[in-house]
C-alpha cells in the first residue's frame, strides 16, 4: 500500500488556487488591453478622417452683382438660343469683378482676380439665361462657386501668416477675399456638388455622384450574379452532392478562393471578360463580373454554414412526411437558412463595395467626369475614386478624399447594420 | 390475434455459429457480426409488413443481423431493447429513412403488403406517404399549426381547395386529440405549443396523409408522464385504423400499448411474442435479464 503521508485535499487545492486566480486576472487584463487598443485605433481613424473631411461638406460661394448686359449676351436682340448659348458669359463676371475691385491693374493681377471665381461660373450664368431670357438687361445678385483656393483659405486650411511663396494664395488675393468677406459676399453653403456631380479636375466642381452610381451598378451586377449562383451552389453541395473525393476537392478549392488576393481576380477579369469576351473596358458590367467571382466563395461558405445550422430534425420531419429532397430543401431548409445566407451575402457585398484592386486591372481607374447611366458606360467606383483623389496634391482634394471615405464608411455601416437587423429579425428558434 | 402458429427458430443459440458467418457474408471485412437465432413466432396471419433476413451495415459495422419479422395489420408492435441494440435502425428501415445516411446499407427483404419497399420501382416519396413517422424529439415545422398538418396533404396533392383542406386539418387534429387545444390558434407557430402538444401535432401531421403504417421512434421520451399518457391513449385509438410500430425505452409503455413486443439486443432480434408473454414469461435469457432490470 501507499505509505506516503496523505496531504489534505484542501491544502493542495489552496496552494494552487492563488496561481489560478492570478492567471485568470492576467488573462482578463490582456483582453481589456487588446480591446482598448482596438478601440483607440478605430477612434483615431474616425477622428482623423472626420477632422480632415468634414469641411468638404461645405462650399464657399461668392455673391456678385452681375449685369446681364444685352450688348454682351445678345447684341442683336433676337433672343436666338444659338446666340445665347455661345455668348461670352465670362465677360460678365470679369466686368463685375472689375467693378468690385476697381484698383486692380495689369494682366497678371486681373487674371488672379478673375480666378477667385470657379471656372464653371460662366456656364451657370448661361444656363440661367437660357432658362429665363427675361433677365437679360437686368442686374442680378448671383451666387457663384468660389475657386478651390479661395474655398480652402476661407475654411482656414491655408495659414495667412506664412511666407507668400509657400502658400497657394497670394497676398493680394487674401486682401480681396477679406474685402468680400467683410461685405458679406462670401457665403458658406452645403456642398451639393459633392453629391450631384461626377469627377472633375477642379476640386470645387468635383463630386462623387459618378463613383456612387458606378458602385451602384457594379454591386447590382455582383449581387444578381453571385447571390443566386452562390445559394444554388451552397444548396447543391450541402444537400444533394454525394460526399466523395471530388466534392472534398471542390470544397477545399472554394475555401481557397475566398483567400485569393483580389487583384488576381482583376487579372482574370482582364484576360477573360475584356480580352477574350471583348466586353467594354471600365464598365460596371465587367466590374460586377469580377467582383462576383470574388464574392461567390464568401456567399457559398456563409450559405453552407447557414444550411448546416438548420437542425436535422426538420429535414427528417419533411422526409418522413414523404417530401422529395427538393421539396424538403425548398419548403423547409432554405426558408430557415435564407436569413443566414442573406447576412453572408450582405457582408460579401460590403466587401465588394470596398474593393478597388481588381477594378484597377479592368480599367475602372480612368478619369471619368460623366455620371454613368448604364451598366456599360465607363465608370469608376467609390474606393477607386478615393484612390484617385488621394493622389492629388490640392488641399481641396484632400478634404474631398476624406469626405468620400466617410460616405463609403457610411454605406459599409449601413450594409453591415442591415445584415445584423436581418439576422435578428428573421432568426428562428426551433 | 395469432391463432395458427408456425413455430420457427425456437432454439437458443447464444454463440455465433461459424457456418452462418461463412455462408451469409461475402466480405470478411464486416465487423461485429454475431448472429443469434430469434426466439418466438415471427409471423402473423394477416401481415401488413413482412421483413426477412434484414441486415443493416453502417460502413463495415453490422448494426442489424438477419432480422425477420412480420408486422400485423392494425396491431401495435413495440420494439424494446438497450441503447444501440438496433431497434431504431430497424424502424427506420421500414420507411427507408436510413437512405438519408450515406454510409448505411440495407440488405434483405421488406415488403409492405405485396411491394418490396427496397425495389427500384418503389419511390421513397410514395413509401413514406404510406408509412408515416413520428420522431423521438417533437419536430414540428417552424410554421403555423395549420400549415404543419396541411403540409403532407398539400405536397401529395390529396385535397382540392381550401374547404377540403380545412376539413382534413380539423379531422386530423381531432383524431390526434389536439383540436380542442389549438382550434382558436391555428395560425400560431407549431413550435409555440408545449412538448406533448407538439408531439401530438406531429402525429396529426403524420395521419393527415392517411398512411397505412405509423412508425414511432420513442415518441414519449421527451415528454412528461401526463403528456405520455395522452399519447399512449391516442396510440390505442389509432390502432383501429393504422398499423403502429413503436420503439420505446419504457417497458411499461410497451406493456401498456402494444399487442406484440420484440426484444432487440446488439443488432439481433432476440425474442418476439405476445406482449403479455414477453413480460410475464420470457423464453430467452437475455429478454428475461432485460425486463427484470438486470441490465439495460
When CB atoms are compared, the residue of A316, A321, A336 closest to B151 is: A321
What pLDDT is stored for residue A412 in this prediction? 92
B251-286 confidence digits (pLDDT tens): 889 999 999 999 998 889 999 999 999 999 998 888
Confidence band for B10, pLDDT divided at 50, 70 and 90: very low
Dist. CA A91–CA A89, nearest whole Å? 5
For residue B27, is pLDDT > 50?
no
A78 conformational bin, left if phi > 0, alpha if psi -120 to 50, beta if neither? alpha
In chain A, what is the straight-line distance between the N-terminal and C-terminal CA atoms, in Å? 56
B139 and A313 within 8 Å at the Cβ level: the answer is yes
Q: Which chain A positions have a beta carbon within 8 Å of B155's beta carbon? A: 321-323, 327, 331
Please give the Cα distance from A85 to A127 (Å, whole number).
8
CA distance A72 to A92: 8
Give residue B7's pLDDT. 41
Cβ–Cβ < 8 Å for B234, B203: yes
**Whose CA is closest to A324, among B156, B5, B260, B64?**
B156
Judge: A317–B137 Cβ closer than 8 Å, yes or no: no
B191 and A313 within 8 Å at the Cβ level: the answer is no
Q: How far apart are CA A421 and CA A338, in angstroms?
A: 14
Which grid coordinates belong to B110?
421488406
Which of A317, A321, A428 is nearest residue B209 as measured by Cβ atoms? A321
* Contact between B202 and A317 using a beta-carbon 8 Å cutoff: yes
**How distant is the Cα of B152 from the closest Cα of chain A, in angstroms?**
6
ipTM score for this prediction: 0.81
Q: What integer pLDDT is reported at residue A5 of this predicted model? A: 63
Please state, in angstroms and rounded to a whole number, the distance separating the CA atoms of residues A364 and A384.
8
Across the interface, whether the CB atoms of A320 and B141 are under 8 A apart is answered no
Which whole-number Å values give the CA distances from A352 to A32, A100, A244, A418, A430, in the listed order? 32, 51, 32, 16, 33
Which of chain B's residues have a Cβ under 8 Å away from the Cβ of A428?
142
Cβ separation A323–B97 shorter than 8 A: no
Tell me which of B91, B100, B148 to substitute to probe the interface with A (most A C-beta atoms closer than 10 Å): B100
Chains A and B form CB pairs within 8 A to the count of 66
Give strand ranges (E) for chain B.
47-58, 61-72, 76-80, 104-112, 115-116, 131-134, 213-217, 243-247, 260-265, 268-274
Q: State yes or no: pLDDT of B33 exceeds 70.
A: no
**Nearest residue, CB atoms, A430 vs list B129, B151, B191:** B191
Q: Which residues of B229-252 are buried (b: 16+ CB within 10 A; e: fewer)?
A: ebbbebbeebbeebbbbbbbbbbe
Could you tell me the CA-to-CA distances from A348 to A271, A287, B162 in Å, in that order? 24, 15, 42
Q: In the prediction, which pLDDT does A4 show?
A: 62
Q: Which residues of B touch A327 (CB under 8 A)?
A: 155
Angle at B179 between CA B173 and CA B185, to 5 degrees: 110
CB contact under 8 A, A322 and B156: yes
Chain B environment of A243 (Cβ under 8 Å) = 102
Q: How far is A309 from chain B (nearest CA, A)?
A: 14
C-alpha cell at A306: 447557414
Q: What b/e sequence results for A51-69 when a residue is b if at least 16 CB atoms lie within 10 Å of its CB, and e otherwise? A: ebbebbbbbbbbebebebb
Site from A321, A331, A336 to mutate, B interface, most B CB atoms within 10 angstroms:
A321
Write out chain A residues lying below 8 Å of B100, CB-based: 315-316, 319
B chain contacts of residue A332, beta-carbon cutoff 8 Å? 141
Sequential pLDDT tens for chain A (430 residues): 555 666 788 888 888 898 899 999 999 999 999 999 999 999 999 999 999 999 999 999 999 999 888 888 888 878 888 888 888 899 999 999 998 898 888 899 999 999 999 988 899 889 988 888 888 888 889 899 999 999 999 988 888 888 888 888 888 899 999 999 999 889 899 999 999 999 998 899 999 999 999 999 999 999 999 999 999 999 999 999 988 899 999 999 999 998 999 999 999 999 999 999 999 999 999 999 999 999 999 999 999 999 999 999 999 999 998 899 999 999 999 988 988 899 899 999 999 999 999 999 999 988 989 999 999 999 999 999 999 999 998 889 999 999 999 999 999 999 999 988 888 887 755 4
A314/chain B closest Cα distance in angstroms: 6
Q: Report the share of chain B in percent with pLDDT over 70.
A: 88
Four-residue CA torsion sign, B45, B48, B52, B57: negative
Question: Of A313, A321, A428, which is closest to B152 when you measure between CB atoms?
Answer: A321
Q: How confident is the model at residue B221 (pLDDT cuts 50, 70, 90)?
A: confident
Angle between helices B195-208 and A312-320 (to 10 degrees): 30
Count Cβ neighbours within 10 Å for each residue of A266-282 and write b for 16 or more, e otherwise.
bebbbeebbeeeebbeb
Nearest chain A CA: its distance from B133 CA (Å):
6
Residue A336: list chain B partners with CB under 8 A: 142
Find the residue in B nearest to A241 (Cα).
B102
**How distant, in Å, are the alpha carbons of A60, A165, A395, A401 from that of A174?**
14, 13, 17, 26
Query: Inter-chain contact B206–A322, Cβ cutoff 8 Å?
Result: no
Q: For residue A212, which phi and psi values (nearest 5 degrees)?
A: -65, -45
A429, B191: Cβ pair inside 8 Å? Answer: yes
How high is the pLDDT of residue B84? 85
Question: Side-chain half-sphere of B52: how many Cα atoms within 13 Å?
Answer: 8
Q: Which of B95, B100, B142 sits opposite A428 (nearest CB)?
A: B142
Q: Per the CB < 8 Å rule, is B141 touching A242?
A: no
Contacts of B219 in chain A (CB under 8 A): none
Chain A residues with CB-CB distance to B154 below 8 A: none
Can you list the domains of chain A with their CATH numbers? 59-191 (no CATH), 209-426 (1.10.3720.10)
Contacts of A321 in chain B (CB under 8 A): 128-129, 132, 151-152, 155, 205-206, 209
A240 to chain B: closest CA residue: B100
Q: How confident is the model at residue B34 (pLDDT cuts 50, 70, 90)?
A: confident
CB A380 within 8 A of CB A199: yes
State the nearest Cα–Cα gap between A298 and chain B, in angstroms: 27
Contact yes or no for B142 and A318 at CB 8 A: no
- Give the burial class of A392: count Cβ atoms within 10 A of its Cβ; 0-12 exposed, 13-18 middle, 19 or more buried: middle
**Parallel, antiparallel or unpaired: strands B243-247 and B213-217:** parallel
Name which of A291, A300, A290 is nearest A230 in CA terms: A300
Q: At which residue does the C-alpha cell 410554421 appear?
A: B143
Most distant CA atoms of chain B, gap in Å:
64
Q: Which helix (H) or strand (E) holds A190?
A: strand A186-190
Q: How many angstroms separate the CA of residue A342 from the nearest CA in chain B?
A: 19
Single pTM value for the model: 0.81
Alpha-carbon distance of A186 to A175, in angstroms, equals: 13
**pLDDT(B245) > 50:** yes
What is the bridge-based pairing of β-strands B104-112 and B115-116?
Answer: antiparallel
Q: Chain A residues within 8 A (CB-CB) of chain B?
A: 242-243, 311, 313-324, 327, 331-332, 336, 428-430
Q: Which residues of B touch A242 (CB under 8 A)?
A: 102
Instruction: Give the tens place of pLDDT for each residue, B87-132.
Output: 999 999 999 998 888 888 899 999 998 889 998 888 888 899 999 9
Amino acid at each position: 500500500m501507499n505509505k506516503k503521508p496523505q496531504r489534505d485535499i484542501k491544502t493542495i487545492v489552496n496552494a494552487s488556487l492563488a496561481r489560478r486566480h492570478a492567471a485568470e486576472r492576467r488573462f482578463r487584463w490582456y483582453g481589456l488591453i487588446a480591446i482598448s487598443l482596438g478601440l483607440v485605433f478605430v477612434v483615431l481613424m474616425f477622428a482623423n478622417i472626420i477632422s480632415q473631411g468634414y469641411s468638404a461638406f461645405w462650399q464657399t460661394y461668392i455673391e456678385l452683382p452681375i449685369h446681364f448686359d444685352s450688348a454682351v449676351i445678345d447684341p442683336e436682340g433676337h433672343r436666338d438660343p444659338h446666340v445665347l448659348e455661345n455668348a461670352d458669359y465670362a465677360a460678365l463676371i470679369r466686368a463685375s469683378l472689375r467693378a468690385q475691385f476697381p484698383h486692380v491693374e495689369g494682366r497678371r493681377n486681373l487674371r488672379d482676380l478673375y480666378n477667385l471665381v470657379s471656372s464653371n461660373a460662366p456656364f451657370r450664368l448661361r444656363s440661367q439665361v437660357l432658362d429665363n431670357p427675361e433677365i437679360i438687361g437686368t442686374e442680378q445678385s448671383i451666387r457663384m462657386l468660389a475657386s478651390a483656393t479661395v474655398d480652402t483659405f476661407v475654411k482656414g486650411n491655408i495659414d495667412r501668416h506664412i511666407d507668400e511663396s509657400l502658400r497657394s494664395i497670394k497676398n493680394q488675393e487674401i486682401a480681396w477675399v477679406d474685402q468680400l468677406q467683410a461685405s458679406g459676399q462670401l457665403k458658406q453653403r452645403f456642398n451639393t456638388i459633392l453629391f450631384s456631380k461626377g469627377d472633375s479636375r477642379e476640386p470645387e466642381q468635383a463630386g462623387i455622384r459618378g463613383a456612387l452610381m458606378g458602385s451602384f451598378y457594379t454591386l447590382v451586377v455582383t449581387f444578381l450574379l453571385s447571390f443566386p449562383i452562390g445559394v444554388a451552389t451552397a444548396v447543391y453541395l450541402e444537400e444533394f452532392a454525394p460526399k466523395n473525393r471530388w466534392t472534398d476537392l471542390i470544397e477545399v478549392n472554394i475555401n481557397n478562393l475566398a483567400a485569393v488576393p483580389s487583384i488576381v481576380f482583376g487579372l482574370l477579369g482582364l484576360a477573360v471578360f475584356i480580352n477574350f469576351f471583348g466586353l467594354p473596358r471600365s464598365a460596371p458590367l465587367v466590374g460586377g463580373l469580377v467582383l462576383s467571382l470574388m464574392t461567390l466563395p464568401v456567399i457559398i461558405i456563409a450559405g453552407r454554414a447557414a444550411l448546416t445550422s438548420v437542425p436535422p430534425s426538420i429535414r427528417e420531419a419533411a422526409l418522413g412526411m414523404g417530401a422529395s429532397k427538393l421539396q424538403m430543401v425548398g419548403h423547409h431548409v432554405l426558408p430557415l437558412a435564407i436569413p443566414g445566407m442573406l447576412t453572408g451575402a450582405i457582408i460579401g457585398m460590403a466587401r465588394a463595395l470596398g474593393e478597388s484592386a481588381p477594378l484597377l486591372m479592368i480599367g475602372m481607374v480612368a478619369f471619368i467626369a460623366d455620371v454613368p447611366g448604364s451598366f456599360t458606360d465607363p465608370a469608376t467606383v467609390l474606393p477607386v475614386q478615393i484612390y484617385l483623389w488621394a493622389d492629388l496634391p490640392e488641399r481641396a482634394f484632400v478634404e474631398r478624399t476624406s469626405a468620400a471615405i466617410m460616405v463609403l464608411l457610411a454605406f459599409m455601416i449601413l450594409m453591415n447594420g442591415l445584415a445584423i437587423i436581418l439576422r435578428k429579425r428573421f432568426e428562428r428558434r426551433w | 390475434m395469432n391463432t395458427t402458429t408456425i413455430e420457427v427458430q425456437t432454439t437458443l443459440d447464444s454463440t455465433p455459429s461459424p457456418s452462418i458467418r461463412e455462408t451469409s457474408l461475402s466480405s470478411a471485412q464486416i465487423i461485429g457480426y454475431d448472429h443469434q437465432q430469434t426466439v418466438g413466432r415471427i409471423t402473423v396471419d394477416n401481415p401488413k409488413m413482412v421483413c426477412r433476413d434484414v441486415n443493416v451495415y453502417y460502413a463495415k459495422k453490422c448494426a442489424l443481423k438477419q432480422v425477420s419479422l412480420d408486422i400485423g395489420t392494425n396491431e401495435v408492435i413495440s420494439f424494446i431493447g438497450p441503447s444501440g441494440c438496433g431497434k431504431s435502425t430497424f424502424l427506420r428501415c421500414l420507411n427507408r429513412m436510413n437512405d438519408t445516411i450515406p454510409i448505411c446499407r440495407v440488405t434483405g427483404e421488406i415488403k409492405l403488403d405485396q411491394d418490396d419497399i427496397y425495389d427500384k420501382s418503389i419511390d421513397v416519396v410514395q413509401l413514406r406517404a404510406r408509412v408515416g413517422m413520428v420522431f423521438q424529439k417533437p419536430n414540428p415545422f417552424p410554421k403555423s399549426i395549420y400549415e404543419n398538418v396541411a403540409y403532407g396533404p398539400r405536397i401529395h396533392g390529396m385535397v382540392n381547395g381550401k374547404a377540403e383542406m380545412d376539413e382534413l386539418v380539423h379531422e386530423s387534429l381531432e383524431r390526434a386529440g389536439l383540436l380542442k387545444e389549438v382550434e382558436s390558434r391555428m395560425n400560431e407557430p407549431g413550435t409555440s405549443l408545449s412538448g406533448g402538444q407538439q408531439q401530438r401535432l406531429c402525429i396529426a401531421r403524420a395521419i393527415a396523409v392517411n398512411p397505412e403504417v405509423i412508425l414511432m421512434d420513442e415518441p414519449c421520451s421527451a415528454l412528461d408522464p401526463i403528456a405520455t399518457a395522452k399519447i399512449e391513449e391516442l396510440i390505442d385509438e389509432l390502432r383501429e385504423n393504422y398499423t403502429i410500430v413503436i420503439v420505446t425505452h419504457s417497458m411499461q409503455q410497451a406493456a401498456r400499448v402494444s399487442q406484440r413486443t420484440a426484444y432487440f439486443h446488439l443488432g439481433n432480434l432476440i425474442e418476439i411474442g405476445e406482449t403479455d408473454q414477453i413480460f410475464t414469461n420470457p423464453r430467452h435469457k437475455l429478454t428475461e435479464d432485460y425486463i427484470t432490470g438486470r441490465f439495460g
